[in-house]
């Protein structure tokens, strides 16, 4: 692994996440949905999700998560050069949610949004890392934040039970000598009808096809990472996949022949928070010591587009 060391390495020096205070358990779902706690838990692993109130938008959640990440990195907002917000539920068509976060943090960073649905955070991390490697920026805030509760049809049990609101953020900084920031991104627009939300919503989905895609892409991306970096699964401390469905994660782990112990799962608490799911999981994994300093962690995102992405990081 030593030969892989990178003079232009990029490190994650802070993580943070935030979910709104209101918890909606499976038992609290509207009766009209004709669903049950038992069905949802068995088919998805989800027990509850957090829902933003009417006046809380993506930028509010994102700014709180970002403030926590900056605190952990011991940086002031003024030291941030660039803010990237991955979201499919921006506060407005424009200005960008990232610009609103910049205003809330009272800093002068450049700011833009990136849209790649549930793969958005991995896409944004890849872009942020490459911009640091190129020398263009020194300190980049990468945030994944979504409020799917605002674009769901609360009468559609196929989708309403799956999603929750939240935000996760990381601080990226140049860290010479760290592990190379390997990433691989992909998209297949021919699958655009499988999971979709017009600008005003609601979300529609072909659950079975999306399920099969998620399992297939998890395994393919993991194999590619191990091959490209000449790593064995034992070199990887933790895999953090997009948190969509526990059955999907279990099936993918089984197909890839890896123990579930290697895979971080928190979907039971948050549901699918789209672009926020991986950074929330990463922040929790670090908090719980499942990912420690020096550990190699593989982040695997997949979602609407269809899109997918993998990013290998080393915990700073």
DSSP code, position 3? G
Tally of CB atoms within 10 A around 274: 33
Structure tokens at 73: 């990195």
Separation in Å, CA 213 to CA 187, 208, 218: 12, 9, 8
Task: Judge whether 107 counts as a catalytic residue.
Answer: no
Nearest to 311 by CA among 255, 204, 238: 238
Catalytic residue status for 272: yes
Give the pair of three-digit tokens for residue 26.
Answer: 């499976």
When the beta carbons of 95 and 191 are compared against ligand COA, the nearer one is 191
Partnered with residue 52 across adjacent β-strands are: none
Tally Cβ neighbours within 10 Å of residue 203: 21
* Cα gap 90→260, rounded to integer Å: 34
Decide whether 90 or 301 has the Cβ nearer to ligand COA. 301
Q: What's the min distance (Å) between Cβ of 25 and ligand COA? A: 14
State the nearest-atom distance from the C-beta of 28 to ligand COA, in Å. 14
Nearer to ligand COA, 36 or 130 (CB): 36
Interacting residues with ligand COA (CB under 6 A) = 35, 39-40, 43-44, 118, 157-158, 161-162, 195, 205, 207-208, 210-211, 214, 244-245, 272, 303
Residues 201, 153 contacting (CB under 8 angstroms): yes
Choose the catalytic residue: 118, 181, 245, 266: 118
Output the smallest distance, CB 2 to ligand COA, in A.
37
Residue 118: active-site member: yes
- Catalytic one among 26, 242, 245, 266? 242
Q: What is the three-class DSSP state of 89?
A: coil
Q: Which is nearer to ligand COA, 9 or 305 (CB)?
A: 305
Residues 131, 137 contacting (CB under 8 angstroms): yes
Q: Tell me how far, at minimum, the Cβ of 148 lies from ligand COA, in Å.
A: 10
Residue in the shown chain whose Cβ atom is closest to ligand COA: 207
Looking at the Cβ atoms of 11 and 214, the one nearer to ligand COA is 214
Q: Measured in Å, how far apart are the chain's first and last C-alpha atoms?
A: 17
Q: Are strands 82-86 and 110-114 parallel, antiparallel or unpaired?
A: parallel
Smallest distance from ligand COA to CB 39, Å: 4
Active-site annotation, residues? 118, 242, 272
């Amino acid at each position: 692994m030593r030969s892989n060391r990178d003079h232009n390495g990029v490190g994650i020096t802070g993580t943070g996440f935030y979910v709104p205070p209101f918890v909606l358990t499976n038992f609290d779902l509207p009766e009209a949905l004709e669903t049950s706690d038992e069905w949802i838990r068995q088919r998805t692993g989800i027990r509850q999700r957090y829902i933003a109130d009417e006046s809380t938008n993506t930028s509010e959640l994102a700014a709180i998560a970002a403030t926590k990440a900056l605190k952990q990195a011991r940086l002031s907002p003024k030291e941030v050069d660039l803010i990237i917000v991955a979201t499919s539920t921006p506060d407005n068509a424009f200005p960008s949610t990232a610009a609103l976060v910049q205003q809330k943090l009272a800093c002068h960073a450049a700011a833009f949004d990136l849209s790649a649905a549930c793969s958005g955070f991995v896409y944004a991390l890849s872009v942020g890392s490459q911009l640091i490697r190129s020398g263009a920026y020194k300190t980049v805030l990468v945030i994944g934040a979504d409020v799917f509760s605002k674009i769901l049809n609360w009468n559609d049990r196929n989708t309403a039970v799956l999603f929750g609101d939240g935000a996760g953020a990381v601080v990226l900084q140049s860290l010479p000598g760290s592990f190379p920031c390997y990433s691989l991104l992909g998209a297949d627009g021919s699958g655009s009808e499988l999971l979709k939300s017009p600008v005003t919503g609601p979300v529609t989905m072909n659950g079975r096809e999306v399920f099969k895609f998620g399992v297939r892409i998890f395994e393919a991306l993991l194999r590619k990472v191990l091959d490209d970096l000449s790593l064995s699964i034992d070199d990887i401390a933790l895999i953090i996949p997009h948190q969509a469905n526990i059955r999907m994660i279990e099936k993918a782990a089984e197909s890839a022949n890896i123990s579930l112990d290697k895979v971080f799962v928190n979907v039971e608490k948050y549901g699918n928070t789209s672009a926020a799911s991986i950074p929330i999981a990463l922040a929790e994994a670090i908090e719980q010591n499942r990912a420690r300093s020096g550990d190699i962690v593989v982040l695997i995102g997949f979602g609407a587009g269809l899109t997918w992405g993998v990013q290998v990081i080393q915990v700073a």
